[in-house]
């Protein structure tokens, strides 16, 4: 059993306990255990096998260790099952609605016995929720909006979850060794979309298809530990659903069809449709086996994507661009962008430490960033308005600046910049005094409150922040939380025009729940010459590797290296970042040898 599965069961138990009105200490211990397992690098299954070790984990006492062993042994947990006799399982979906917490869910259940998103949305639509204490007309509207988001999100997964699952599956399948050729993801995961419906894996056979090898391969694949249900088992395709709910299609193909199959199953559907129509006009047909002549169906290309594109008069199109939004025309003209790559990134400009809501210290973040070969990072705590994240006021910010500069002197091989993620208040003002803003090396600003402002007010608010001479980067500009909260609405074109005018950079936030700006907005920014930063918004050292998701989102937005500030070497980066009042000229650059 995977750690995250055990964590899920513990977390659901915590949520059910909270709905049930259990005392806070009781459900918090389950929540904490779930969080611990999510961040654990060892497999909890291994630890449990070695007897004593579970209780050595922080916060895991005898009781919890016993519960975890029960989950590992039975695949479920008796307390969770008991609670689910009292409440339908769908009640947990209600917690995914942005505006509902366990207390409110409990109230709705008590009064209406409503336990599905559909039921609650109906109550909101009929204006019945406003009679529940703590609810009003406004919360009904919020619930309706959240229910829409929920419907759209149903059955989709964050790219990070799909990526990890795909890696585990590929590693499992590769244990077949020489019995298979390649095994590789296609579909939306290969196009690096922010959310993934199902996983499409292509398995290239090592030799011609035979009944025995297909049988052996199928048996091995279906022995993957977390399969919940087998959905189809044929000689070309195996489908199953994992315990996480994620569905997987594995397609078995022969090497000579690999290029055509990759192209077909990578999609997007829109890209494929446009390619097929181009092929037809050129006297070809294109399917998952080959590009062939229309006349006598003679294959002309099939083993690699590159040769198929070439026969169609096109340069190779990177998977991230395959959405039929101009990439085919550009490939025909030879004007495709040279997309940014992970290796181009030299710094990370948004991360949190224990001073606000992060898990690691400045030093730990710096050393981990150095491992990733970053040349520089900015440490950016929340500012005081974000009380839930223990945001820093002026005094604490000054102290943090001092600590960052001190750590910078101590740690070789990476530059540490003193930054802050300063809140944009409701009126567009920044949450720290100018004197403090003047002392920061990097001023990142963002919105964490009053997210339901009307679009005109929201636009004014962001424009005011951009016009503030201290603002250098707008972080997660639309505030979306994937599968949970829609972006807030404002006039993106006006904002980007202003960003260009004031040389304010727009962030592509790489945190998998955000990926904000998205592809469409990034492309709009690029067209205007607005600079981009790609940052992880890390809350622990483990999050720093999320930078790859930011890079692939940027690639989907046609972003090139020259568009990205943190692809610049340190000194150039400091020069290109918007100059702000009070900034000292860059000291004679100290060489930081690695």
Residues interacting with ligand DGT, by CB under 6 A?
Answer: 187-188, 193, 196-198, 200, 264-265, 267-269, 272-273
> Which of Ca ion, ligand DGT, Zn ion, none interacts with 2 (beta carbon under 5 to 8 A by kind)?
none
Report yes or no: 228 and 270 within 8 Å, Cβ to Cβ. no
Report yes or no: 283 and 293 within 8 Å, Cβ to Cβ. yes
Which CB sits closer to Ca ion, 239 or 285?
A: 239
The residue ranges of DSSP E strands in 142-179, in sequence order, are: 157-158
> Which of Zn ion, Ca ion, ligand DGT, none interacts with 152 (beta carbon under 5 to 8 A by kind)?
none
Nearest alpha-carbon partner for 357 in 438, 434, 421: 421
Listed in sequence order, the residues at least 6 apart from 1 whose beta carbon sits closer than 8 Å to its beta carbon are: 44, 45, 71, 72, 75, 225, 226, 243
**CA–CA separation, 3 and 161 (whole Å):** 13
Residue closest to Zn ion when measured from CB atoms: 446
How many angstroms separate the first and last alpha carbons of the chain? 41
**3-class secondary structure, 551:** helix
497 C-beta neighbours (distance < 10 Å), count: 15
> Which of Zn ion, ligand DGT, Ca ion, none interacts with 284 (beta carbon under 5 to 8 A by kind)?
none
> Which of ligand DGT, Ca ion, Zn ion, none interacts with 185 (beta carbon under 5 to 8 A by kind)?
none
**3-class secondary structure, 264:** helix
The answer to whether the Cα torsion of 75, 79, 84, 90 is positive or negative is: negative
Least Å distance between CB 114 and Ca ion? Answer: 33
Work out which of 13, 146, 162, 187 binds Ca ion, going by CB under 5 A.
187
Which CB sits closer to Ca ion, 353 or 552?
A: 552
According to DSSP, the residues that pair with 481 across neighbouring strands are 485
> Which of Ca ion, ligand DGT, Zn ion, none interacts with 333 (beta carbon under 5 to 8 A by kind)?
none
# binding residues, Zn ion (CB under 5 A):
1
Work out which of 12, 18, 140, 249 binds Ca ion, going by CB under 5 A.
249
Q: What is the CA radius of gyration of the chain?
A: 26
Which CB sits closer to Zn ion, 18 or 537?
A: 537
Residue closest to Ca ion when measured from CB atoms: 187
Helical segments of 20-116, H only: 24-38, 44-49, 62-74, 78-86, 91-94, 102-112
Q: Is 319 in the site for Ca ion (CB under 5 A)?
A: no
Least Å distance between CB 266 and Ca ion? Answer: 10
> Which of Zn ion, Ca ion, ligand DGT, none interacts with 273 (beta carbon under 5 to 8 A by kind)?
ligand DGT
Least Å distance between CB 337 and ligand DGT? Answer: 22
538 φ, ψ to 5°?
A: -60, 140
> Which of Ca ion, ligand DGT, Zn ion, none interacts with 218 (beta carbon under 5 to 8 A by kind)?
none
Least Å distance between CB 420 and Ca ion? Answer: 40
> Which of Zn ion, Ca ion, ligand DGT, none interacts with 139 (beta carbon under 5 to 8 A by kind)?
none
Least Å distance between CB 160 and Zn ion? Answer: 18
Nearest alpha-carbon partner for 258 in 182, 322, 190, 354: 182
Which CB sits closer to ligand DGT, 31 or 249?
A: 249
Residue closest to ligand DGT when measured from CB atoms: 267
> Which of Zn ion, Ca ion, ligand DGT, none interacts with 267 (beta carbon under 5 to 8 A by kind)?
ligand DGT
Least Å distance between CB 592 and Ca ion? Answer: 44
Work out which of 93, 200, 408, 507 binds Ca ion, going by CB under 5 A.
200
Q: Is 194 in the site for Ca ion (CB under 5 A)?
A: no
Which CB sits closer to ligand DGT, 115 or 183?
A: 183
> Which of Zn ion, Ca ion, ligand DGT, none interacts with 516 (beta carbon under 5 to 8 A by kind)?
none
Nearest alpha-carbon partner for 356 in 335, 381, 339, 376: 381
Q: Is 164 in the site for Ca ion (CB under 5 A)?
A: no
> Which of Zn ion, ligand DGT, Ca ion, none interacts with 429 (beta carbon under 5 to 8 A by kind)?
none
| 390 backbone φψ class: left, alpha, beta (φ>0; ψ -120 to 50) | left
For residues 251, 253, 258, 261, the Cα torsion angle rounded to the nearest 10 degrees is -50
**3-class secondary structure, 542:** helix
Q: Is 198 in the site for Ca ion (CB under 5 A)?
A: yes
Counting DSSP H helices and E strands in the chain, the numbers are 24, 17
Mask: binding to Zn ion, 446-475, rule CB under 5 A, as x and -? x-----------------------------
Near Zn ion in 428-447, by CB under 5 A? 446
316 C-beta neighbours (distance < 10 Å), count: 13
Q: Is 288 in the site for Ca ion (CB under 5 A)?
A: no
Mutual orientation of helices 455-467 and 492-502 as an angle, nearest 10°? Answer: 10
For residues 554, 555, 556, 557, the Cα torsion angle rounded to the nearest 10 degrees is 50
The answer to whether the Cα torsion of 102, 103, 109, 110 is positive or negative is: positive
Least Å distance between CB 248 and Ca ion? Answer: 8
**CA–CA separation, 107 and 85 (whole Å):** 18
Which CB sits closer to ligand DGT, 198 or 307?
A: 198
> Which residues of the shown chain bind Ca ion in the complex (CB under 5 A)?
187-188, 197-198, 200, 249
Q: Under the rule (CB under 5 A), what is the footprint of Zn ion?
A: 446
């Amino acid at each position: 059993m995977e750690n995250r599965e055990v964590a899920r069961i513990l977390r659901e138990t915590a949520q059910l306990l909270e709905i049930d009105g259990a005392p806070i200490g009781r459900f918090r211990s389950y929540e904490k255990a779930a969080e611990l397992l999510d961040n654990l690098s060892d497999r909890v299954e291994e630890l449990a096998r070695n007897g004593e070790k579970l209780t050595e984990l922080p916060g895991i006492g005898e009781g919890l260790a016993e519960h975890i062993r029960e989950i590992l042994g039975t695949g479920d947990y008796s307390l969770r099952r008991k609670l689910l006799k009292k409440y339908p399982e769908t009640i947990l979906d209600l917690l995914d609605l942005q505006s509902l917490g366990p207390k409110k869910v409990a109230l709705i259940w008590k009064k209406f016995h409503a336990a599905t998103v559909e039921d609650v949305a109906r109550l909101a639509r009929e204006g019945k929720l406003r009679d529940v204490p703590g609810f009003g007309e406004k919360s009904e509207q919020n619930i309706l909006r959240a229910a829409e988001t929920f419907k759209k999100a149903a059955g989709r997964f964050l790219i990070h979850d799909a990526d990890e699952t795909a890696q585990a599956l590929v590693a499992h399948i590769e244990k077949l060794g020489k019995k298979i050729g390649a095994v590789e993801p296609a579909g939306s995961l290969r196009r690096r979309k922010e959310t993934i419906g199902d996983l499409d894996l292509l398995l290239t056979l090592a030799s011609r298809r035979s009944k025995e090898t297909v049988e052996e391969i199928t048996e091995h694949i279906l022995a993957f530990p977390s399969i919940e249900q087998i959905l189809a088992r044929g000689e070309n395709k195996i489908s199953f659903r994992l315990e996480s709910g994620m569905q997987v299609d594995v397609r078995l193909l022969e090497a000579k069809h690999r290029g055509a199959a990759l192209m077909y199953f990578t999609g997007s559907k829109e890209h494929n449709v446009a390619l097929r129509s181009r092929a037809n006009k050129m006297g070809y047909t294109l399917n998952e086996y080959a590009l062939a002549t229309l006349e006598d169906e003679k294959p002309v290309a099939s083993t690699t994507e590159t040769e198929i594109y070439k026969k169609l008069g096109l340069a190779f199109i990177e998977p991230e661009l395959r959405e039929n939004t101009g990439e085919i025309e550009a490939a025909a003209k030879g004007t495709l962008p040279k997309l940014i790559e992970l290796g181009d990134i030299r710094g990370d400009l948004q991360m949190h430490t224990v001073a606000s809501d992060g898990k690691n210290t400045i030093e730990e973040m710096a050393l981990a960033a150095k491992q990733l070969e970053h040349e520089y990072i900015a440490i950016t705590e929340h500012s005081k308005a974000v009380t839930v994240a223990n945001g820093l006021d002026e005094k604490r910010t000054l102290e943090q600046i001092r600590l960052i500069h001190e750590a910078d002197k101590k740690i070789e091989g990476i530059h540490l910049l003193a930054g802050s993620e300063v809140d944009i208040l409701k009126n567009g003002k920044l949450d720290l005094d100018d004197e403090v803003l003047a002392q920061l090396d990097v001023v990142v600003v963002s919105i964490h409150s009053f997210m339901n402002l009307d679009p005109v007010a929201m636009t004014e608010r962001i424009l005011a922040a951009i016009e503030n001479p201290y603002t250098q980067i707008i972080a997660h500009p639309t505030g979306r939380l994937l599968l949970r909260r829609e972006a807030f609405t404002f006039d993106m074109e006006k904002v980007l025009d202003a960003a260009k005018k004031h040389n304010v950079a727009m962030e592509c936030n790489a945190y998998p729940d955000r990926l904000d700006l998205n592809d469409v907005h990034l492309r709009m920014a690029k067209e205007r010459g607005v600079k981009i930063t790609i940052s992880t918004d890390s809350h622990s050292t483990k999050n720093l590797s999320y930078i790859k998701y930011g890079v692939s989102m940027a690639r989907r937005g046609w972003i090139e290296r020259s568009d990205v500030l943190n692809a610049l070497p340190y000194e150039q980066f400091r020069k290109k970042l918007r100059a702000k009042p009070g900034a000292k000229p860059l000291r004679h650059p100290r060489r930081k040898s690695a």
